[in-house]
Structure 1
Amino acid sequence: MYIAGDWKDYEVIDTGGGEKLERWGDIILRRPDPQIIWPLANETAKWRDVHGHYHRSSAGGGQWEMKKTIPDDWKISYGKLKFHLRPTNFKHTGLFPEQAANWSWMMDKIAGANRPISVLNLFAYTGGATVAAASAGASVVHVDAAKGMVQWAKENIQLSGLSERPVRFITDDVFKFVQREQRRGSKYDAIIMDPPSYGRGPGGEMWKLESSLYPFLESCMEIMSDRPLFMLINSYTTGISPTVLRNMLSMTMGKRYGGKLTSGEIGLPITSSGMNLPCGILGRWEA
């Protein structure tokens, strides 16, 4: 498991009963987590003394119960990277802190390449990986279909003092964008992707990770440079093994370029128990 254990502004304080207790800077939140199927040993006062508690609805979705006043927007840092946070209607805060394990890895790869590196970040959300790659010296193209998420990513770049870095923000369907980049002859040294489990394209095309990811990987192969540095796939789709991502990368990037393949779970340390909380999976190809 790849553990994001270097946080100072974020902490999983405790877990149990399908929920996690987290510290985001000075803000304490209580949120559901489907991986936490063990019981809560003791619902101490710290579990009740929170700023916000997200309650799942039996009908789907859920809502925040704010117990203390919090800012509409607050900030945390990971090293020199800075991020805006705000609670969303879907329980999230705009950042997946376990991804710091990937940020550190890609920053080392980019800084150690000793040459200009161009990065394509697909399904790029609020731009955690975009901020990391730009901070390490890469030029980045950030693509997401949600206009609000792209704007949030711009705010994170500005907050981290990287406004002068060569970062292009694209609000577009990821699949159509990759096809157009093929026709334009665009090339990238590194590609990052965090594809959803399900989705629909602009023409109503159905995306299902199990059947759509491999052909999409093949499309991305056509816009890799002659000297690719890495490809990173993140997934939060339940039921998919890290070995599946490794096999797909072996059949695409590994077959064409050789290189090194790794895969595994990604997670966060739990302060109270010393255990680790699994949060998703990854597959990495690197030169």
Structure 2
Amino acid sequence: MDSMDEPAGYQLLDCGRGRRLEAFGRLVVDRPAPMANGSRHGSARWTDAIAYRAGRGWANAEGARPKLVASPVAIAGVTLEARLGSGGQVGLFPEHAVLADSLRRSVHARITRDGAKPALLNLFGHTGLLTLVAAQAGASVTHVDASRPAVQAARHNAERSGLADRPIRWIVDDAMAFVLREARRGRRYDGFIIDPPSYGHGARGNDDRGWLLDRDLGSLLSACQALATEVTCWILSAHSPGWDASRMAMAIQDATGARTPSEPVELAIHAQSGAVLALGSAVLHDPLRSERR
């Protein structure tokens, strides 16, 4: 790809007073961020950004519907599309980029150890950022999300990233239902990437129980453990109040009986202005990394 055609990257420009100012490629957006409860550090781009307001949707600085609604964005070594969506969403979670290097190291460690592509399962995979990072690193990935539009967007992102020919299975399904079927099939995975929402619906939208993080995460992790090997790696992240890294590490330990510690990661983005936006927590659990220490 010619350097002039390469997409621009992602940058948090500033945040504060319940808002965040971000550049996704050519899109500069001002959108809600309840966790950004401090003062803004200052950026001239606040005045000309495309802003999302509840009840009014997206509008440019003149208050009109924006002409630019999507842009490719380079992030964590792959290319995704940012697109103005409902509720102030843009089609990707940039805070997940902080997990990319650890994921690559875990994939490479298994390739070195086994001489084969490790099989990874990405549950609640959304539009595919970490799926593409893992595939680019050499893994065979099964990408699962209950949203058909999200899975379609992830497939398009694989094409944008030049990874359409990599071994990726694209699955529209409920996470728990898929894991239980894989157990009946006798499947095994070398790694799990799990980014559960606080609540959600099944793939068909008619699951009376739906998904509740507080109620269902332990059962899902235990079901995943039935698909694990002795050295399966785990990346578990959450953006919900009450789910910090220590609680997630305990949930993994309860499900796996693991004696090796998990590594805590704060999903925080540092802004160009000097502000810091905390967007959740994650834990990395990789027995092979413990062996190498």
Give the TM-score category using the shorter length. Answer: 0.7 to 0.9
Q: Give the structure with the larger helix fraction.
A: 2
8 Å CA contact retained: 1:27, 1:70: no
Tell me the residue number matched to 1:105: 102
Partner of 2:5: none
Aligned length: 270
1:261–1:285: 8 Å Cα contact kept in structure 2? yes
Contact 2:244–2:282 (Cα < 8 Å) also in 1: no
Distance 1:79 1:193 in 2: 18
**Cα distance in 2 between the residues matched to 1:19 and 1:158:** 32
**Counterpart of 1:91?**
88
Equivalent residues in 2 for 1:1-287, closer than 5 Å: 9-40=9-40, 45-50=44-49, 52-57=50-55, 63-67=57-61, 69-78=66-75, 80-113=77-110, 114=112, 115=114, 116-201=117-202, 202-228=206-232, 230-253=233-256, 255-256=257-258, 258-272=259-273, 274-287=274-287
Q: List per-residue Cα deviations over 1:192-226 (Å, max 9, x = no partner).
A: 11111112445312422112111111111001124
Contact 1:243 1:264 in 2 (8 A): no
Distance 1:250 1:79, change over 3 A: closer
Question: Following the alignment from structure 1 to structure 2, what is the Cα–Cα distance between the partners of residues 38 and 226?
Answer: 44
- TM-score by length of structure 1 reads 0.88
Is contact 1:193–1:232 with CA below 8 Å preserved after alignment? Answer: yes
Q: Distance in 1 between matches of 2:87 and 2:181?
A: 32
Structure 2 vs 1, CA of residues 283 and 45 (structure 1 numbering), >3 Å: closer, same or farther? closer
Residue segments in structure 1 that go unaligned for 5+ positions in a row: 1-7
Contact 2:15 2:275 (8 Å CA) reproduced:
no
Report the Cα offset of residue 78 of structure 1: 2.5
Seen in structure 2, the aligned counterparts of structure 1 residues 183 and 56 have a Cα distance that, compared at 3 Å, is same
CA offsets per residue over residues 135-193 of structure 1, 9 Å max, x none? 00000000011110000000011111111111000011111111100100011000111
Indicate if the aligned counterparts of 2:17 and 2:38 stay in contact, CA closer than 8 A.
yes
TM superposition score normalised by structure 2: 0.86
Distance (whole Å) between structure 2 residues aligned to residue 200 and residue 13 of structure 1: 33
State the alpha-carbon separation in 1 of the partners of residues 168 and 119 from structure 2: 10
Asked whether the 8 Å contact 1:18–1:39 carries over to 2, the reply is: no
Cα shift at 1:56: 2.4
Amino acid at match of 1:178: V
RMSD (Å), alpha carbons: 1.9
Identity %: 30
Alpha-carbon distance in structure 2 between the residues aligned to 1:195 and 1:79: 21
Cα distance change, pair 205–69 in 1 and its aligned pair in 2 (3 A): closer
Q: Which residue of 2 aligns with 1:4?
A: none
Q: Distance in 1 between matches of 2:186 and 2:162?
A: 31
Tell whether the 8 Å contact from 2:121 to 2:191 is kept in structure 1 after alignment: yes
Structure 1 window deviating more from structure 2 (259-268 vs 29-38): it is 259-268
Task: Letter of the 1:90 partner, please give it.
Answer: G
